[in-house]
Amino acid sequence: MDTQDLTRLLHVKNDSKIVMLVADGLGGLPVEPGGPTELEAANTPNLDALAKQGISGLSIPIKPGITPGSGPGHLGLFGYDPLKFMIGRGVLEATGIGFHVGPDDVAIRCNFCTLDASGNIADRRAGRIPTEASAPLAKMLGENVKIPGIELFVEPVKEHRFVVVFRAEGLGAAVDDTDPQKTGVPPLAPVAHDDASQRTAKIAQEFYNQAVKLLAQEPKANGLTMRGFAKKPDIPTYEEVYGVRAAAIAVYPMYKGLAKLVGMDVIGEPGTLEEEIDVLAQAWDSHDFFFVHFKYTDSRGEDGNFEAKVKMIEEFDAIVPRVMTLKPDVLIVTGDHSTPAALANHSWHPVPTLLAAKNCRTDACTTFGETAAIGGGLGQFEAIHLMPLALANAGRLEKFGA
Amino acid sequence: MDTQDLTRLLHVKNDSKIVMLVADGLGGLPVEPGGPTELEAANTPNLDALAKQGISGLSIPIKPGITPGSGPGHLGLFGYDPLKFMIGRGVLEATGIGFHVGPDDVAIRCNFCTLDASGNIADRRAGRIPTEASAPLAKMLGENVKIPGIELFVEPVKEHRFVVVFRAEGLGAAVDDTDPQKTGVPPLAPVAHDDASQRTAKIAQEFYNQAVKLLAQEPKANGLTMRGFAKKPDIPTYEEVYGVRAAAIAVYPMYKGLAKLVGMDVIGEPGTLEEEIDVLAQAWDSHDFFFVHFKYTDSRGEDGNFEAKVKMIEEFDAIVPRVMTLKPDVLIVTGDHSTPAALANHSWHPVPTLLAAKNCRTDACTTFGETAAIGGGLGQFEAIHLMPLALANAGRLEKFGA
């Protein structure tokens, strides 16, 4: 039994409301020895007040030392063991552009490439063709390639990248990449590794054959490679494992998609954090659990811009009072991983996390930050334990055993 | 998937250097309530400086409450789950005397015993025969016992103990001990529990038959018992799971042997800690990871000598500056378990541990000790997570998932 087996068994329903505010890449690092992290440098009166009344700690996204991508990072926060539920590249790419991958879908991440006269790859990224040129080509392929017995979707991504989805019952995804990872050779034929994937490989070959005919006159994007054949993992829903009607509020398609994978309702079309809180307020009565995603702490961290990340944290802090007026029974503030400006990248460092609820058993923390959280009452814990803690604090978990 | 599956998947190579200084049995206990532990009583300016610039915590060797032997203790530090990779007694004993156990070997820990006229055991330890008397007997057996189809090794250990190794393809090790654990009865016949071990049991019986004939005139050591039949566990190497060229620097055969089990190069023939650091400096360019073992903190703890252990810790502290002049990218200081002088034995207490690296995200610790480490940024963690943390801090792990 794992923790989700427990919550599946023990959850009960009530009128409580749980809000999980996720500041993407929240955790940071000092830029000089002894200096503050981004969160410690930021002026965060509202988060500090929450830390004072709540309980703090450090969340380990996956395992100590492991740096997560957005997919595993969010699965962990949602309480799904990221080492058990693996999201393949094709599905993640489709999810990232807001394509809802269904149970009968095989999703594939594709690149336009340039083929020379003898059919060998001359440029693996089709000269980094701009999106304005590549998107119509993807659309054209979706409209003109016809493969009997399946539904076909071709979705533009960015520059040379696009996504292909084959939809038909029983398709396997154990198919090797066709990208040879070098130039001067033709794309590989799709090779299947189990019976259910033989048909997928045939479909992929047929797609390729029709596509190169349709692209024959293109100067740059006259070929394509396929990578990361993947099916949606079999993930139980929030309703099943936690008994909550969950809503996801996010600006970026990737996070909407990840939330959809675990059965959350993706609500609203917010463009800013303020608008996300508008959506939250409007949906207050229709849902029990709210995942609210704030992207820009991560973006500025990835830019390597300490000061800009500090500003984003302050912007994030400023919406806390609006959330509090809704009177959530449990409020969690966390991140899916750290993105220290000093590294301009995701990192392995544990993420400052706080939980505020009536019976949370508070600690001595009076500010919200990496160093303070070391002494917090939540200690250091793997992110998958946050959801059970949220449910417990919301009175939504019964006793285990008599 | 476990953490080693992750590191196997995610590791990359670079020029970084990682040093793991292991003071055996480092953790301790106060001798009177409120008093300092050995580490806290010791004058350790260099370790304190490292604690100040690094991040501290408490390493749990196996699981809370579990006291490890040297084998599981070191496997844990090396990142190998000690509950998954079990080293049988025979292999551990052989490893401890520097015998390199190969994949076709069955190693057995043997005792000389005294048999009475009717073949019953009169003394299970052959009157604790001194090594000077027993070692030539072991050697004699190795030279004179002949068993067709196998290579045979008989290695003296200490007093009544010796090691026997059968080398032949396909031998199993599921054979019961022949030591009846009491006197007045004869040694048991070796009993096998699977097909591959039937042959091993026959070989063991043949070894016994020849040996008692050869020992017949011995007054004390005229018989023998066999225990802990074991094969080397199938352990992946450091190169496979971490992608590092690992070197082990140790004085005692046991620790060299444990390092060899995980594929480290055992380098040099140091006799003192100073000489170990000489070897470290000489090997700096040829390896990426260095395990440096210091034995005497454990030895003096096992003696129950608090003051002597304090002195050993100070000796250990004194070599830190020499290590630092090499400019390791990641320096870890830890122990494989605690050996409090107050208990004169290994114990279950978590082990003070520190990690110093450029981006380690330091904490408020300014000294290195058991009590200070409770408030450290590494928290309490199972020892197997140290290696992923080391690799992450060395920039040797890629992101997990996109």
Write out pLDDT tens, residues B268-322.
Answer: 999 999 999 999 999 999 999 999 999 999 999 999 999 999 999 999 999 999 9
| CA angle (B327 as vertex; B326, B330 as ends), nearest 5 | 120
CB-nearest to B385 from A63, A349, A375 is A63
- Look at A69 and B361 and tell me if their CB atoms are within 8 Å: no
pLDDT at B96: 86
Return residues 36-55 of B near A (CB < 8 Å).
Answer: 53
pLDDT tens digits for range A6-64: 999 999 999 999 999 999 999 999 999 889 999 999 999 999 999 999 999 999 999 99
Q: Which residues contact A128 (CB under 8 A, 6 or more apart)?
A: A159, A160
Radius of gyration of chain A (CA): 23
In angstroms, the Cα distances linking A116 to A185, A219, A362, A391 are: 10, 10, 66, 59
> With an 8 Å Cβ cutoff, is B359 touching chain A?
yes
State the best of A62, A374, A378, A380 to mutate against chain B, taking most chain B CBs within 10 Å. Answer: A374
Mean per-residue pLDDT of chain A: 96
Token pair 């992608």 is at which residue? B243
Question: What are the pLDDT digits (tens) for A110-146?
Answer: 999 999 999 999 999 999 999 999 999 999 999 999 9
Report the gap between the CA of B388 and the closest CA in chain A (Å). 5
Q: A206-217 pLDDT, tens per residue?
A: 999 999 999 999
Answer yes or no: are the C-beta atoms of B221 and B112 closer than 8 Å: yes
Does B389 reach chain A within 8 Å, measured CB to CB?
yes
Stretch B103-118: mean pLDDT:
96
> Which of the 8 DSSP states describes residue B128?
G
DSSP state letters, A88-143: -HHHHHHHHTT----TTEEEEEEEEEEE-TTS-EEETTGGG--HHHHHHHHHHHHH
User: What's the pTM value of the predicted model, to 2 decimals?
Assistant: 0.91
Question: Is-contact B332 B19, C-beta < 8 A?
Answer: yes
Of B1, B375, B388, the CB nearest to A375: B375
From-to residues of CATH 3.30.70 in chain A:
91-231
Q: How far is CA A360 from each of CA A52, A291, A333, A390, B237, rounded to the nearest angstrom?
A: 12, 20, 14, 10, 45
B2 interfaces chain A, CB cutoff of 8 Å: yes
Q: How many whole angstroms separate alpha carbon A247 and alpha carbon A280?
A: 9
Per-residue pLDDT averaged across B208-220, rounded? 97
Least CB–CB distance from B381: residue in A64, A69, A71: A64
pLDDT for the residue A76? 98
The tens digit of pLDDT for each residue in B120-177 reads: 999 999 999 999 999 999 999 999 999 999 999 999 998 999 999 999 999 999 999 9
Q: Model confidence over A166-201: pLDDT tens digits?
A: 999 999 999 999 999 999 999 999 999 999 999 999
User: Does the pLDDT of residue B402 top 80, yes or no?
Assistant: no
Q: Which pLDDT belongs to residue A227?
A: 94
Write out the two tokens for A315.
């912007």
Considering only alpha carbons, which residue of chain B is nearest residue A376?
A: B375
Nearest in space to A119 (alpha carbons), one of A228, A213, A202: A213
Please answer whether residues A229 and A212 qualify as being in contact, where contact means their C-beta atoms are separated by less than 8 angstroms. Answer: no
CA closest to A338 among chain B residues: B361
Q: Is B374 on the interface with A (CB under 8 A)?
A: no
- Minimum Cα–Cα distance from A36: chain B residue: B361
- How far, in Å, CA of A62 to CA of A41, rounded? 26
Total CB pairs under 8 A between chain A and B: 96
Query: Do the chains contact at B379 and A375, CB–CB below 8 Å?
Result: no
Alpha-carbon span B341 to B343, nearest angstrom: 5
Q: First and final CA of chain A: distance in angstroms?
A: 17
pLDDT of residue A79: 98
B389 → chain A, closest CA residue: A65
Q: What's the rounded Cα separation, in Å, for the pair B264 and A176?
A: 34
Query: Which residue ranges does chain A devote to CATH 3.40.720.10?
Result: 3-87+235-393
Residue A385, chain B, CB below 8 Å: the answer is no
d(CA B208, CA A79): 58
Which chain B residues touch A92 with a CB distance below 8 Å?
401-402
Out of A33, A92, A380, whose CB is closest to B53?
A33
Judged by CB atoms closer than 8 Å, whether chains meet at B359 and A29 is answered as: yes
Q: What is the pLDDT of residue B301?
A: 97
**Is B390's Cβ below 8 Å from some Cβ in A?**
yes
Q: Do A374 and B397 touch (CB under 8 A)?
A: no
Distance between B394 CA and the closest CA of chain A, angstroms: 10
The whole-number pLDDT of residue A98 equals 87
The verdict on a CB contact (< 8 Å) between B363 and A371 is yes
Decide if pLDDT at A300 tops 90. Answer: yes
Report the first-to-last Cα separation within chain B, whole angstroms: 17
Amino acid at B213: K
CB contact under 8 A, B381 and A380: yes
Contacts of A349 in chain B (CB under 8 A): 361
Distance CA B167, CA B107 (A): 9
Q: Are A63 and B3 inside 8 Å of each other by CB? A: yes
The residue in chain A having the minimum alpha-carbon distance to the alpha carbon of residue B1 is A83
Q: Is A14 on the interface with B (CB under 8 A)?
A: no
Sign for the pseudo-dihedral over CA of A163, A168, A174, A175: negative
Residues of B in contact with A230 (CB under 8 A): none
Q: Give the residue among B391, B258, B379 at the shortest CA–CA distance from A58.
A: B379
Rounded percentage of chain A residues whose pLDDT exceeds 70: 100
In chain A, whose CA is at the least distance from the CA of B358? A33
Would you tell me which CATH number, out of the four given (1.10.10, 3.40.50, 3.30.450, 3.30.70), belongs to the domain A91-231? 3.30.70
Where does residue B54 fall: left (phi above 0), alpha (psi -120 to 50 degrees), or beta otherwise? beta
- Candidate CATH numbers 3.40.50.10260, 3.40.720.10, 2.40.50.140, 1.20.1260.10; the one for domain A3-87+235-393: 3.40.720.10
Establish whether this prediction's ipTM goes over 0.85: yes
Please tell me whether residue A278 adopts helix, strand or coil conformation: helix
Q: For residue A89, is pLDDT > 90?
A: no
Q: Name the nearest CA neighbour of B335 among B286, B300, B283, B375.
A: B300
State pLDDT tens for residues A222-259.
999 999 999 998 999 999 999 999 999 999 988 999 99
Tell me the two tokens of residue B244: 């590092």
Q: Which has the closest alpha carbon to B61: B315, B395, B385, B396?
A: B385
